[in-house]
Structure 1
């Protein structure tokens, strides 16, 4: 007979989790201290949005906004505070950070939760290299807040005080999968699915006949690369192919790649950063392409936030990054599951 698990508020279970929660509070305070010390302002962004984001594989929670006359308008719980934060950059803010509750449907694992806390911050008129320095400083601040010398996840460890390794995606494909990623990219960044498909198959990676280039790229990342990143010290994985760039601008001098990096610690993806795209026409083109893919794969699409595209036209050059606060707490405390560091997990 299956015995139901104790609820999170069971005194015994809660007592086991409470040290993680107190550590979470100390880390959150250290994060705020870091940013206020750097001259940032903390912004609060609305959860209800016209569009929850337009990336192909993000799934949102839908709801309705009821007007006083009873008419209903579709709205979504945001998957990120990014659109609002960039509108604030267009309004004139130069350094801002947000600690936002965000919502992603269909995501629940040891590292994922349908409602979680995202730390986002933006630097106007600064390159994304400044964000790399921020990441290093935040890892140290979190470690100091809880009095640890090592971050841990399961059987892996990383020194939060060590300077992170910097590695391009192309270098990672060569090092960990023996694949020449650049060979599958045209001069303008256009992808060649067959070239990457054959290389992945030769490397022993399971590929399907109907896989597109992005499917193969993701499978190589998940199976061959991500598990080996951030071991011993953090890894900053840079220069993603432009097709995997989301809201990032092209790398100067090489349009095949984008100003995007991800931060990995103990094999865990911790943060995703961009040199922000400010070309509204290009952003619209990407949104429409991604929603076409979403329609093809999932049979649904989300609206485009027209105000956001208008704001891009006056937004200054900027760099921005999103970091999973819950995962940072997990790594700093050695927690093995995200629910250990959440005050009140969402009911399954």
Structure 2
């Protein structure tokens, strides 16, 4: 075998495929049920292009790059998108009101029981509707997926969750207080800027590791990953909401408290399933945030991605909206009891040999 060539895959042997096939057939049934769910609510299903001028501008998401070759032989860099979000928001700017999208998306440097370099994202957007409506959608979709798969519980690694129970709604600040004993909002100033030293001191007091070069964002992520996320979504799903505005990504600040944003994530069985925003429509603010994200990407990884100027122009006329991205393969995993994401993907990407 040549160095870095794909390792022989077990997926195509009949016995292995026979073991996977029930999960795959359930996947098809769940996808059909979710399509019906959105169609019944007057959503238009859209099909966005995979190739984009920018794959997205989050510091810790990694893309696959290619080059488009023109008739003259000149090349233009393009990327496989990490989400159809930019394209969907352009369609909202163009006048669509309710849209849904099953999109294959691509993320480099990601592989494991819950990660695959190519996976399916289900995104949906509601123009003129608040992000709380998306919370109701999530509760209903969990029930639809489980009922379609014939399961009474969502299951992952021996832990379960009732998909028919109303999800718990928990703010990030309350989660930090409950699971880590940290007053998160005390580390965020009224203008949304953050106090790195205050968070570092609070973490040291509760026995969490702090490195001298950790930023506030690094520390926030460590608490979230080590103390909070592993305890979410057991018994019933958890909607973790009101992220700090410094972690808003593409979400708008909350009118209730400028220190937090209209962002939530959905968890079940300790697994993150979805990420939702009350969408930011301030193009200048979005450009500023992208700049900060790309500066951090340059600092940590030594690379950046271009901005999608077409998207930023569309944002100028985009209506107030809410939107959400849900990992469809993960939902299928939990609804069928699969142990790994590649069990629910029809044709997994072969792993590269060392």
Instruction: Classify the TM-score, shorter chain.
Output: over 0.9
Moved more, 208-217 or 315-324: 208-217
Structure 2: distance between partners of 1:128 and 1:237: 13
Other-structure match for 1:245: 248
Q: 1:210 aligns with which of 213, 236, 254?
A: 213
Is 1:6–1:13's contact at 8 Å kept on the other side of the alignment? no
Deviation at 1:254, TM superposition (A): 1.4
Instruction: List runs of 5+ in structure 2 lacking aligned partners.
Output: 1-6
Q: Hey, what does 1:52 align to over in structure 2?
A: 55
Kindly indicate whether residue 277 of structure 2 is the aligned counterpart of residue 271 of structure 1. no
| Structure 1 segments unaligned to the other structure (5+ residues) | none
> Is 1:295 equivalent to 2:298 in the alignment?
yes
Distance 1:126 1:253 in 2: 17
Match of 1:154 among 141, 146, 157: 157
Tell me what 2:320 maps to. 317
Whole-Å Cα distance in 1 between the matches of residues 151 and 200 of structure 2? 43
Equivalent residue, structure 1, for 2:307: 304
| Superimposed CA distance per residue, residues 96-155 of structure 1 (whole angstroms, 9 cap, x where no aligned partner) | 000000000000010000000000000000000110010011001101111111000002
1:102 to 95, 100, 105: 105
Structure 1 CA distance for aligned equivalents of residues 327 and 197 of structure 2 = 34
8 Å Cα contact 2:26/2:149 also seen in 1: yes
Deviation at 1:253, TM superposition (A): 3.1
Aligned with 1:78 (options 77, 81, 90): 81
Q: In structure 2, what is the equivalent of residue 180 of structure 1? A: 183
Residues 304 and 23 of structure 1: is their aligned pair in 2 closer, same or farther, counting only changes over 3 Å?
same
After TM superposition, what 4+ stretches of structure 1 lie above 3 angstroms from structure 2? none
In the alignment, which residue of structure 2 is the partner of 1:87?
90
1:217 & 1:253 partners in 2: Cα distance?
Answer: 22
CA deviations on 1:161-205 (whole Å, 9 max, x unpaired) are 000000000000000000000110000110100110111121111
In 1, Cα distance between equivalents of 2:80 and 2:204: 39
Q: How many residues align?
A: 345
SS at match of 2:235: coil
Q: 1:347 to 1:6 in 2, by over 3 A?
A: closer
* CA gap 1:311/1:161 in 2 versus in 1, 3 angstroms: same
Cα distance in structure 2, aligned partners of 1:200 and 1:28: 42
Corresponding residue of 1:28: 31
Q: RMSD of aligned C-alpha atoms?
A: 0.8
Spell out, residue by residue over 1:276-325, the C-alpha distance to the aligned partner (whole angstroms, 9 max, x if none).
00000000000011101111110000000000000000100000000000
* Distance of 1:212 and 1:6 partners within structure 2: 41
Contact 1:41–1:95 (8 Å) recurs in 2: yes
In 2, the alpha carbon distance for the partners of 1:15 and 1:200 equals 48
Conserved 8 A contact 2:281-2:318: yes
Question: The residue matched to 1:63 in structure 2 has which SS?
Answer: strand
Aligned to 1:39: 42
Task: Give the corresponding residue for 1:222.
Answer: 225
1:253-276, Cα deviation, whole Å (9 max, x unpaired): 311000000000000000000000
Per the normalisation by structure 2, the TM-score is 0.96
- C-alpha separation in 2, matches of 1:307 and 1:92: 16
Aligned to 1:256: 259
Contact 1:45 1:100 in 2 (8 A): yes
2:142–2:164 Cα contact (<8 Å) kept: yes
Q: Distance in 2 between matches of 1:187 and 1:70?
A: 53
